[in-house]
Structure 1
């Protein structure tokens, strides 16, 4: 525990991880419904206000919706925090999530295209954002026999990262860390005609500025570039939380036509933006998306 505090292995990192593990352990002692509701409440009423996430969500909402009444921005920000807490414990209760997703067949033209691509041995890249619970969508596709690989950015806190990766792989397929080795494995999966998932809504330093929700946002072109390189379908997909707060609907949009990386990535941004405008409380406004 005497290591450099900035290497992700310091005492503060260890303590933070232990506290988080304890919270998850306690939550998992509850039945599924009460567990999800309790974590949503805790995230909305305790974690988000104390951490500053609630303030950041309000600021982002004010940037995109300057004419929205402040009371409505506050309501959405709280619902975002609630959804985040629910999503977190849903994914950590992987066995329950997988069981719930087992009987769910995705809908939309993208799902039909995905099934045909699998029959033809053609790769497919499924793209979404931090919307609803994308983990449920991945679990639903895995239940239909797809092998959905993921590419993730390792957490700075190495103690947290250990169970975070285990959680992702319990919900879906193999997950590869960003970096030369992980990206090579991810690319090999696509080259062999597999399916993969990428998220498009994070700020990536040095990435091109594209429009997202009417504001410039740095957006990685990697999903489109990989689709072009491996002749893979590029399919936007979403798992939308239903009014009961517990169930989801997985919808897959038509594949993005191949053209050039910027045009294709802008189409992905536009797809997600339409979902966010329709249901703003389901997107992760806590992100520093517009730096």
Structure 2
């Protein structure tokens, strides 16, 4: 029964993608915002979670301000859905017209070290177009991706992601492929703002501890790779500006628990910085603080 449902969802995705691919970008974005509004007002999936996260993260903002941010978050999600469906129809020139790599020299300088670059960020703005753009601008890129439960959707979405020559690396079986690519001075993209349960390490995000992937820090210290943070910021004219910032790493300190924690906190702090600037860009629906330190302590007893 689940397989049939997954297949129907997959066919629905294909149908919607076929219908929207002929739309202008401005119409596509407006459609995405409208669908986001519809979900926010009439199918409030995780709306309570979103508003709760915003209340805890922005206690100084009014209820109306937080609701406005929440609505913007759903609109951003809606735009992402329709933008993603159109990726296969876009040439590399099209991608470069939509996405600007601001501070690209940060990436260039990091690659000059000849140790590869780990590009980290979160589900912020249009994160999907970032990988397409980095590849479209001529960089060799692999992206670590989590497998979806719907295998039909998983295959199709990854085909979309690879349309501009970025290579998808399945999460869980990725370490060897990631290290190989870095040693060949390639770039590897990783999102690190999902709850990692007992496998993560706890760093501060909006004043609360959250379980966070330590993989980027561990791999950087193992290989000598640079870490560059990115944020994909939507512009008023419908384009996207991707900003890059270098993340400071003390390689000489080695892969100690303290050093891994410090690097991971630095990356997370950059995401918080941009989320405070553009709060409607982040994916507040995710249960980011689901795993708590006291939960793991009780399990260890």
Fold in common (TM above 0.5): yes
Partner of residue 169, structure 1 = 162
Q: The residue matched to 1:261 in structure 2 has which SS?
A: helix
Query: Which of the residues 202, 209, 228 maps onto 2:202?
Result: 209
- Unpaired runs of 5+ residues, structure 1, are none
Q: 1:272 — aligned with what?
A: 271
1:66 equivalenced with 2:65 (yes/no): no
2:118 is aligned, of 91, 113, 125, to 125
Using the size of structure 2 for normalisation, the TM-score is 0.86
Counterparts of 2:164 and 2:67, CA distance in 1: 32
TM-score (norm: length of structure 1): 0.88
Q: Does 1:234 align with 2:233?
A: no
The corresponding residue for 1:39 is 32
List runs of 5+ in structure 2 lacking aligned partners. 254-258, 291-301
CA contact (8 A) 1:135 1:171 kept: no
**Aligned partner of residue 210 in structure 1, secondary structure:** strand
Where do 1:5-154 residues align within 5 Å?
Answer: 5=2, 10-46=3-39, 49-50=42-43, 52-94=45-87, 95-96=89-90, 98-103=92-97, 105-108=100-103, 111-154=104-147
Q: What is the alpha-carbon distance in structure 2 between the residues aligned to residue 271 and residue 166 of structure 1?
A: 30
How far off its partner does 1:236 sit? Answer: 0.6
Instruction: Please identify, of 45-54 and 71-80, the stretch whose mean Cα deviation from structure 2 is larger.
Output: 45-54
Distance in 2 (alpha carbons) for counterparts of 1:49 and 1:214: 32
Q: For 1:132 and 1:171, locate their aligned partners in 2 and report how far apart those are by CA, in whole Å.
A: 19
Q: Distance in 1 between matches of 2:33 and 2:46?
A: 14
Moved more, 275-284 or 10-19: 10-19
Residue by residue over 1:137-175, the C-alpha shift from the partner in whole angstroms, topping out at 9 and shown as x without a partner, is 323322332111101110011111111111111245101
Q: What SS does structure 1 have at the residue aligned with 2:90?
A: helix
Q: CA RMSD in A?
A: 2.0
Instruction: Within 5 Å, give how 1:232-271 maps onto structure 2.
Output: 232-244=225-237, 246-258=238-250, 260-271=259-270
Mapped to 2, the partners of 1:32 and 1:164 lie a distance apart of 20
> Which segment drifts farther, 70-79 or 133-142?
133-142
- Give the 4+ runs in structure 1 shifted more than 6 A: none
Match of 2:193, SS state, is coil
- Provide closer, same or farther for how the CA distance between residues 290 and 172 of structure 1 changes in structure 2, counting only shifts above 3 A: farther
How far the C-alpha of 1:32 sits from its partner, in A, is 2.3
Closer/same/farther in 2, CA of residues 236 and 73 from structure 1, 3 Å limit: same
Distance in 1 of aligned mates of 2:35 and 2:164: 23
The alpha-carbon deviation at position 21 of structure 1 amounts to 2.7
